[in-house]
Amino acid sequence: MNKNHLGLYIHIPYCKSKCHYCDFNSFPGKEESIPGYFDALVREVELYAETLKEIQVKTIFIGGGTPSLVEPKYIYHLMRAVQQNLNIVKNAEISIETNPGTLTYEKLLAYKTMGINRLSIGLQACQDRLLRKLGRIHKMDEFVENYEIARKVGFKNINIDLIFGIPSQTMKDWGETLRNVIGLNPEHLSCYSLKIEEETKFGKMYDVGELIPVEDELDREMYEFTAETLKKNGYKHYEISNFAKEGFECRHNLIYWHGEEYMGIGAGAHSYYKKNRYNNLYNIEAYISQIEKKELPQENHQFIDAAEEMSEAMILGLRLIQGVHVKQFKEKFHRDLFEVYGEQINKLMKKGLLFMEDDHVKLTLVGLDLANDVFMEFI
């Protein structure tokens, strides 16, 4: 792991409306603060210029919210500030999250022109009735139109986000969604099992009995079907929820899963730098106000000691299909993996959730589906 590299995450917390399952730091109806927010983002980048002058930024991920909701001129000024103040490696992976219904030819062309080379599009499902149920603002045909424009503009690295386990979604629905998306031939697919989070619209509906989650058995069946179908169609299953054509794994997310350093810019963004983990203030106005005082808007600093680092190496490493490399664990921590976690590993192997292969400890297919139970053993 190169200590002189990190990933940069930039958070854009604006969206047209809040999806019913979303618990991210995002806000509809606050567009009037966009100019001030982007000024603050630029200033935050400038505040980091001195700290990061010796560090190379190998990936940039602009996430949200819905970054594609804002006018491209704001993204352009932000990208210029990043390029002028930080050392971006040649051929860095630069991603932006987008939503159908907020994309246009002009926006996509502007992203391409300013050096963004990876597009992530949130589709979630192919059936308009399921999109309505999720609180999405778009229809399937809008997504297809946006996808085709992105190809025309020249994007050669596109991810599509999908969700399975949506209440009332059938196996037939999910099979149709996968077939339709595979037919478009994207380079990367993120397929997430729906989680009903507290404080979301779905969470509140669930609490009063208005939302019935899918059965665990159907959720498992959908997951196994996903892995099998995508493998047959040339997608490598490289992380619990992520599938890519050869060479198109998301380099930015691999930074998180490999336990490498990353810096978060913007309201609510998280950072892990020099064994310190912290987040920025979540509230947009509080974030802007702190930046105006020329102060970094950080809170919740936590020093990650060796025990915590080893625990995270197991939890994050096991998310990857290749698992945790026994030799690399020893090189990094100067401790034998089985000396530290032998008891937990043996217990999970007996339950059929872990196995050993080529000097790696990996999740079995059942383990992938019950990953959270496995991770609890290493906390």
What per-residue confidence (pLDDT) applies to 369? 87
Distance CA 284, CA 297 (A): 11
Long-range pairs for 278-285 at CB < 8 Å and ≥24 separation?
Answer: 278/302, 280/11, 282/25, 284/13, 284/27, 284/30, 284/33, 284/37, 285/33
Quickly state the pLDDT bin for 2 (edges 50, 70, 90): low
Query: Tell me: the pLDDT tens digits for 33-60?
Result: 999 999 999 999 999 999 999 999 999 9
Sequence-ordered list of residues with C-beta below 8 angstroms from that of 288, at least 6 positions apart, any chain? 33, 36, 37, 39, 40
- CB atoms under 10 Å from CB of 102, counted, come to 20
Phi-psi region of 274 (alpha: psi -120 to 50; beta: other; left: phi over 0): left
Q: Residue range 209-232: average pLDDT? A: 95
Among 263, 373, 243, 248, CA closest to 318 = 373
pLDDT tens digits, residue range 284-319? 999 999 999 999 999 999 999 999 999 999 999 999
Contact 361, 367 (CB under 8 A): no
**Which helix (H) or strand (E) is 366 found in, with range?**
helix 365-369
Q: How confident is the model at residue 109 (pLDDT cuts 50, 70, 90)?
A: very high
pLDDT of 1 above 50: no
| The model's pTM | 0.96
pLDDT at 188 over 80: yes
Phi then psi for 226, rounded to 5 degrees? -60, -50
Please, which residues bridge with residue 273 across strands? Answer: 276
Whole-number Å distance between alpha carbons of 309 and 261: 12
**Quick check: 76 pLDDT over 80?**
yes
List of domains in the chain: 5-257 (3.20.20.70), 321-376 (no CATH)
The Cα–Cα gap between 241 and 78 comes to 30
